[in-house]
Chain A
Amino acid sequence: MADNHYGALKMQIKKPSQIFHWLFLLTALSLLALPAQAGVKIQSWKAKSGAKVLFVENRDLPMLDVAVHFDAGSRRDAPERAGRADLVAGILQLGAGGLNEETIAKRLADVGAQMGPSFDRDRAGYSLRTLSSKREREQALDILAKVVQSPDFPEAVLQREKTRTLAALREAETKPAAIADKAFYKALYGAHPYGLPSGGEIETVAKLTREDLLRFYDNHYGAARAVVAIIGDVSRAEAEAIAEQVTGKLAEQGTCEELPKVEALTKPQVQRIAHPATQTHITIGAPGIARGDPDYFALYVGNYILGGGGFDSRILNEIRQKRGLAYSAYSYFIPLQQPGPFQLGMQTKKQDADVALQVAQETLQKYIQQGPSAAELKQAKNNIILGFPLRIDNNRKLLEYLGVIGFYNLPLSYLDDFPRQIEKVSARAIQDAFKRHVHPDKMVTVMVGAPE
Chain B
Amino acid sequence: MRKATELFSLALIALSLTIGTAWAANQPQQKILANGLKVIVKEDHRAPVVVSQVWYRAGSMDERNGSTGVAHVLEHMMFKGTRAVPSGNFSKQIAAAGGRENAFTNRDHTAYFQTLERSKLELALKLEADRMHNLVLSKAEFEKEIEVVRNERRWRTEDQPHGKVYEQFNATAFQSHPYQWPVIGWMNDLENMRAEDARAWYDTWYAPNNAVLVVAGDVQAAQVFKLAQKYFGPLKAKKLLPRKPQEEPAQQGIKRVVVKAPAKLPYLLMGWKAPVVRDIDKDSEPFALEMLSGVLSANAAARLPTALVRESQIAVDADSGYDSVQRGPGMFLIDATPSEGKNVAELEMAIRAEIEKLKRDGISEEELNRIKAQVIAAQVYQRDSVFYQAMQIGEMESAGLHYAAIDKRIEKLKAVTVEQVRAAAKKYLIDDTLTVATLDPQPLDDKKPAAAPKGLHHGG
Contacts and interface: CB of A to CB of B under 8 A. Distances in A.
B290 to A, nearest CB: 5
Contact of A61 (B9, B384, B409): B384
A165 B395 CA distance: 36
A326 to B, nearest CB: 5
Interface string B1-31: 1111101111111111001010100000000
Contacts of B297: 11
Contacts of A119: 5
Given A166-B340, A172-B1, A111 B160 contact: no
Given A7-B12, A312-B95, A174 B3 contact: no
Main secondary structure of the interface of B (DSSP, over half): mixed
A256 B387 CA distance: 42
5 contacts: A6-B392, A16-B163, A167-B265, A382-B97, A382-B98
A389 interface: yes
Given A1-B100, A327-B148, A394-B47, 14 more contacts: A6-B395, A11-B322, A14-B162, A102-B301, A105-B301, A109-B370, A112-B373, A160-B310, A186-B456, A274-B447, A279-B158, A279-B159, A390-B115, A390-B117
Nearest to A132: B380
B96 A273 contact: no
A18 B265 contact: no
B241 interface: no
Interface stretch (B103-111, B219-227, B228-236): B103-111
A164 B318 CA distance: 12
A395 B460 CA distance: 43
Interface in B307-354: 309-310, 313, 316, 319-325, 333, 335, 337, 339-340
B102 interface: yes
Which among B339, B380, B445 has the greatest number of chain A C-beta atoms within 10 A?
Answer: B380
B424 to A, nearest CB: 14
Contact of B262 (A276, A326, A393): A276
Contact of A266 (B120, B456, B459): B459
Q: Which 6 A-B pairs have the closest CB atoms?
A: A112-B377, A190-B458, A116-B8, A386-B98, A263-B460, A324-B147
Interface stretch (B72-80, B192-200, B202-210, B425-433): B72-80
A60 B46 contact: yes
A438 interface: no
B386 A386 contact: no
Interface string A370-413: 00000000010011111111101111100000000000000000
Contacts of B162: 14
A109 B264 contact: no
Interface stretch (A20-28, A41-49, A213-221): A20-28
Interface stretch (A242-250, A315-323, A361-369): A315-323
Contacts of A173: 264, 449
A179 interface: yes
A117 B102 contact: no
Given A312-B95, A325-B151, A387-B99, A106 B301 contact: yes
B144 A310 contact: no
A278 B94 CA distance: 34
Interface string A202-221: 00000000000000000000
Interface residues of A, number: 123
A168 to B, nearest CB: 5
B13 A10 contact: yes
Contacts of A264: 459-460
B251 interface: no
A94 B4 contact: yes
Given A379-B92, A383-B95, A387-B99, A8 B325 contact: yes
A140 to B, nearest CB: 10
Nearest to B298: A11
Interface in A63-94: 63, 86, 90-91, 93-94
Contacts of B456: 186-187, 269, 271
Contact of B444 (A14, A271, A276, A323): A276
Interface string A104-132: 11101111111111110000000101110
A406 B193 CA distance: 52
Contacts of A390: 49, 98-100, 115-117
A274 B377 contact: no
Contact of A93 (B4, B96, B325, B383): B4
B358 interface: no
A285 interface: no
A358 interface: no
Contact of B166 (A7, A16, A22, A388): A16
Contacts of B154: 278-279, 347, 349
Given A6-B395, A20-B103, A90 B4 contact: yes
Contacts of B262: 174, 275-277
Interface in A292-330: 309-312, 320-328
A11 B449 contact: no
A63 B381 contact: yes
Contact of B264 (A91, A170, A273): A170
A131 B378 CA distance: 9
Nearest to B265: A171
B101 to A, nearest CB: 9
B45 to A, nearest CB: 9
B138 interface: no
A112 to B, nearest CB: 2
B253 interface: no
A274 B448 contact: yes
Contacts of B54: none
A266 B2 CA distance: 35
A1 B99 CA distance: 13
A130 B376 CA distance: 11
A259 interface: no
A427 interface: no
Contacts of B144: 321-324
Contacts of A392: 47
A12 to B, nearest CB: 6
Interface in A153-180: 160, 163-174, 176, 179
A15 interface: yes
A330 to B, nearest CB: 13
Given A109-B301, A114-B11, A386-B97, A171 B383 contact: no
A276 B377 contact: no
A91 B265 CA distance: 23
